[in-house]
Structure 1
Amino acid sequence: MSMPDVVGDLPLVEEILESHRSRGRGDDTGWDGYKAHVYRVINFARAFGPETADADDKLAIATAFHDLAAFDTLDYLVPSIAAQDEWLAATGRQDWSDELALVIAGHHRLRAYRSGSGAVPLVEAVRRADLIDVSQGLIRFGLPKSFVNEVRGTFDAGVFFRRVIPTATLRAIRRRQQPGFLRPRNALTRSSHPGSVGR
């Protein structure tokens, strides 16, 4: 398997994250950690494809938004999708809304995503990529260890996993919030998109 070059500066990612920086609640270090996680997921996902003309743009958008609301709530799939929908509409890309909502809704699935017509490459690529990073590279789905280590070493997402997510978890416990990121099944319905991501 030939690995793509590691990318670290995609204009769409930079534009989206900078315009949504307030979501970081003033935690610039945590926001930078999230940005690093976004770039890790993009690079891992690019290794799985799909190789289409708009794949990098779709990956940039979906990954920039995929955990966007995690600074506010553990039920972050729906508000992340809503923020993505708003941005897509504002930039004339609303035709991608249902597909990219599916990417966000399904990115925490433990099992492969399949629709009624078979695999959905972009959803599955991001699902695998996120799991590689969340597992700290212990799960690789066949990617070479050297490539996974290179990507993880290039982007320091440590503070996102060590501080941002635990802080959000404590906040959620105090507020008695449901961990909605663990329940992707109804994220599409609650965000007014068709389809299901199953369990």
Structure 2
Amino acid sequence: MSNISIKLERPRVEELLARYKSQIGKDFPGYRNHVYRTITYAMYFLGNAEEHESLVETAFVYHDIGLWTDYELAYLEPSEAVAIADNQKFKLGLDSDLLRGAIHWHHKIFPYTGPHREIIEACRKADWIDASKGMLRKGMSRAAIRDVEAAFPNLGFHNTLMRLAKDYGGSTLAGGIKVTLGIVKW
């Protein structure tokens, strides 16, 4: 057992994700668990500071949503647009620039050093941990990653990404190239 704090229930996440359940369809359980894993990792890097929880939860609900709302492999900007619109529509009260930044930079290869660095960097590291299935640990222990993965199993999420790359890109290779060019930031 590691020292990572794992919340099995997050009402904000459930409420926000529920609005997109039918659009996400059969991919919903895998995406939901990906969202929970990344939130857990990011909150660990933020010392589980409650003042960051709403932003982190919301950013991760929306960070990949453009895959399903816009059927787009270059999904960062569509995901940002949905998040910003919902932030206004549902009066979530989050800083739009910070919410946009957490989504926009979550695939950045090198550390983020701009405005809101602490939160955006925590989100960036969290997504890299999960995207790599724990091969990239960003300073997190293997035990902590194992505990999070046990609490929120993959449920085929990474296979979903490969399938969507093929479906939207014409082939896994072409889709993979389009994804890489559209979402990876230096």
Partner of 2:126: 129
1:19-168 equivalent positions in 2, closer than 5 A: 19-24=19-24, 26-27=25-26, 30-49=27-46, 52-71=49-68, 72-93=71-92, 95-115=94-114, 120-162=117-159, 164-168=160-164
Cα distance change, pair 95–156 in 1 and its aligned pair in 2 (3 A): closer
Deviation digits for residues 149-199 of structure 1 (CA, Å, limit 9, x no counterpart): 10011111241111x2112111222297773564458xxxxxxxxxxxx62
Per the normalisation by structure 2, the TM-score is 0.86
- 2:11 alignment partner in structure 1: 11
Query: How much does 1:38 deviate?
Result: 0.3
**How many angstroms apart in 2 are the aligned matches of 1:105 and 1:35?**
19
4+ residue runs of structure 1 moved beyond 3 angstroms? 50-53, 175-178, 180-185
Q: Which amino acid aligns with 1:45?
A: A
Could you tell me which residue of structure 2 aligns to residue 193 of structure 1?
none
1:74-94 deviation digits (Å, cap 9, x = unpaired): 111111111101110022235
Shift of 1:41: 0.2
Q: Identity over aligned residues, as a percent? A: 27
Unaligned regions of 5+ residues in structure 2, if any? none
Indicate how the Cα distance of structure 1 residues 50 and 6 shifts in structure 2: closer, same or farther if over 3 A, else same: closer
TM-score by length of 1: 0.81
Structure 1 residue runs of 5 or longer lacking an equivalent are 186-197
Shift of 1:40: 0.3
C-alpha change, 1:121 and 1:53, in structure 2 (3 Å) is: same
Q: Determine the structure 2 residue equivalent to 1:195.
A: none
